[in-house]
Amino acid sequence: MEFMYTKTDMNNILSSAHVHTTFCDGKTPAQEMAEKACEMGFVSLGFSSHAPQLFDPAHCVDPAREEDYKKEIRRIQHEYRGRMAVHLGMERDMLSCASPENYDYFIASVHYFRTPDGGFSGVDAPPEVMRKYVDEYCGGDGLEMARRYFSLFRDYVLASKPAIIGHYDLVRYNNANLRLYDEDFPAYRGMALDALRAMAETGALLEVNTGGVARGYMTSPYPAAFLLKEWKNWGGEVIVNSDCHDARLLDGGYLQAEELLLSLGYDHVVRLGSDPEKGMWERIKLR
């Protein structure tokens, strides 16, 4: 995918292309999310509700309400024209039943494994759910679980060509407590890098997701530093997103993400464009 970029001297990100509202599993209504973002000085905001799917309804847009979601975000987009650029996006899981057509962009993510009995098991489900999946379907091998995850994610991104690769190493969510594998182990790093290298060929933006940091269950953003380092070496672009479910955390973890990126040699990031007439995406310099 090709992107148009506009250079700016602003050193505050003041944007997120990844926010969730009460249309899915967020805590804040869309209107209030926009009001808070504008109040904070955001120049752009992308709504990205979890796309409709035919299972686990508590975490996605009800298929019967998808058109309501689209209409509401388009209404907000019109309301804030000239003050803040608003975009209609979706976070589309690999197992979603929704089409990304008629959206401004979509974020690709993998939140579930299929199970042999026709069910689903969440990647970021409660620890006991992940432990059960690893024990019953991966022979107790956490590395096998991670291999499946990265393989699924790679194939999904190559087939769908999203604008953004969302929280790439989400498997870290449960590994922090369960210690299913050693994140420094060469075999783990190798499989994560191999899958990401294939994704780089699509031209997608790699999301630096600060949601886990903002909500206090992660000590560093997704993805891990070793992945971000190689992504830069491959010439890839990154976008910092808050994965916000509560308007109070719209820019949560951004300073930490910026410090991490600077330490890895990044001098800019990409964000949703502040002026739709100049392109969908723009580069901003880091301080």
Strand locations in the chain (E): 15-19, 44-50, 85-93, 105-109, 112-114, 120-122, 164-165, 205-209, 238-241, 268-272, 281-285
Dist. CA 140–CA 133, nearest whole Å: 8
Cβ(123)–Cβ(166) below 8 Å: no
Q: How confident is the model at residue 196, as a pLDDT?
A: 98
Q: How many CB atoms lie within 10 A of CB 53?
A: 21
Hey, is 30 helix, strand or coil? Answer: helix
Closest CA to 165 of 12, 22, 1: 1
Q: How confident is the model at residue 6, as a pLDDT?
A: 57
Cα 224 to the center of its chain, rounded Å: 14
pLDDT band at 10 (very low <50, low <70, confident <90, very high): very low
pLDDT band at 14 (very low <50, low <70, confident <90, very high): very high
Angle formed by the axes of helices 127-137 and 142-160, to 10°? 100
Q: How confident is the model at residue 149, as a pLDDT?
A: 98
Hey, is 269 helix, strand or coil? Answer: strand
How is residue 239 written in tokens? 């976008």
Return the half-sphere exposure (C-beta side, CA atoms, 13 A cut-off) of residue 170: 24
State the DSSP H helix or E strand holding residue 274, giving kind and residue range, or none if neither. none
Residue with tokens 């949703």: 272
Q: How confident is the model at residue 137, as a pLDDT?
A: 97
Q: Please give the CATH topology (third level) of the domain spanning 93-281.
A: TIM Barrel (3.20.20)
Residue with tokens 């709504």: 47
How is residue 238 written in tokens? 């990154």
Dist. CA 31–CA 91, nearest whole Å: 19
- Percent of the chain whose pLDDT exceeds 70: 96
- What is the 8-class DSSP label of residue 276? G
Dist. CA 155–CA 153, nearest whole Å: 6
Q: Where are the domains of the chain?
A: 93-281
How is residue 206 written in tokens? 């790699």
pLDDT band at 12 (very low <50, low <70, confident <90, very high): confident
Dist. CA 225–CA 247, nearest whole Å: 27
Condensed to tens digits (0 to 9), the pLDDT of residues 74-118 reads 999 999 999 999 999 999 999 999 999 999 999 999 999 999 999
Q: Is the pLDDT of residue 55 over 60?
A: yes
How is residue 70 written in tokens? 């689209």
Planar angle of CA 35, 223, 192, nearest 5 degrees: 145
Q: How confident is the model at residue 287, as a pLDDT?
A: 79
Cβ(108)–Cβ(160) below 8 Å: yes
For range 249-261, the mean pLDDT: 95
For range 191-207, the mean pLDDT: 98
